[in-house]
Structure 1
Amino acid sequence: MHRLSAGAIGSAAASLVLGVLIGTLGTVLHRSIPPWGLVICLTLAFVAAVTVRAWTGYVALAGYAVGLAGTVLLLTQRGPGGDVLAPDGQAIGWLWVLGSIAVLVVAALLPRGPFDDRPRAPRTPTVEHELVDPAP
């Protein structure tokens, strides 16, 4: 387990800001060109989540998750004039809210191997074959 350093906290704070930005863009634009607006917004959220996890790990991913989920849940509430960016009567709004959370879960559950920067030992063959002339 990694120690919580100032760099990790700074990365988590930057990831939180990125999550707020992606959450705002996605909530505003997911209904732009159905269904492609939703597909693009979910893809953007997933790519950002994977990038953040590869960048620092789970600490930064937690910051990104708080920013994204918090912004999506905040912006889907009714505004002071009764306006709403993701109406609950339309499936595309629910797909955005639940899809953005699913994207975070998938990014957190990806295998560790692709994100590991440690050098690996060279592979050694398990069986060595020798070319030998057959006996006469």
Structure 2
Amino acid sequence: MQRLSAGVIGSAVAALLLGVLVGTLGTVLHRSIQPWGVAICLTLVFVAAVTVRAWSGFVALAGYATGLVVTVLVLTESGPGGDTLVPDGQAIGWVWLVGSVAATVAVALLPRGLFDDRPRAPRTPTEPVTVEGGLEDPPS
């Protein structure tokens, strides 16, 4: 578990701003080239989430997710003139809304070991490997 320090909080705020940027770009561009626009935007959400978690950990990922979700929800509302970036009843809008949350949750559920930079100790077999017909020397 990460301790809350100035560096961790600073990383979380920076990740929150990244989430706002990614949410804005995705909401504006997800309908640009159907269906590839939404696929590219969801890939951007996933890659940014993986980058945030790898560099700064789970607290920053929570900041990123907050910025992303709040921005997407705000931008789905109707504007002052009645226009909207995510019209009601279009499947591609639902794919963007649900997919952006799902991609972020998927990154949060990835094993911690994928983001650990410490080298692992070499594996050494403790018992000889049994093969048909007898014992085999352990690999060197």
CA distance in 2, matches of 1:127, 1:36: 52
Give 2:19's aligned residue. 19
Matched residues in 2 for 1:88 and 1:107: separation?
28
Corresponding residue for 2:124?
A: 124
Using the alignment, how far apart are the partners of 2:45 and 2:2 within structure 1? 25
Partner of 1:134: none
Work out the CA distance in 1 between the residues paired with 2:43 and 2:113. Answer: 22
Task: Spell out the pairing of 1:13-92 with structure 2 (5 A cutoff).
Answer: 13-92=13-92
**SS across alignment from 1:60:** helix
State the superposition RMSD in angstroms: 1.4
Q: Which has the higher strand share?
A: 2
TM-score by length of 2: 0.89
* Counterpart code for 2:54: A
Partner residue, 1:6:
6
Higher mean C-alpha deviation, range 22-31 or range 114-123: 114-123
Q: Find the aligned partners of 1:24 and 1:48 in 2 and give their Cα distance.
A: 13
Q: CA deviation at 1:111?
A: 1.0
Aligned sequence identity (%)? 75
Q: Counterpart in 1 of 2:104?
A: 104
Q: What is the deviation of 1:10? A: 0.6
TM-score normalised per structure 1: 0.91
Q: Aligned pairs, how many?
A: 131
Letter in 1 for 2:42: L
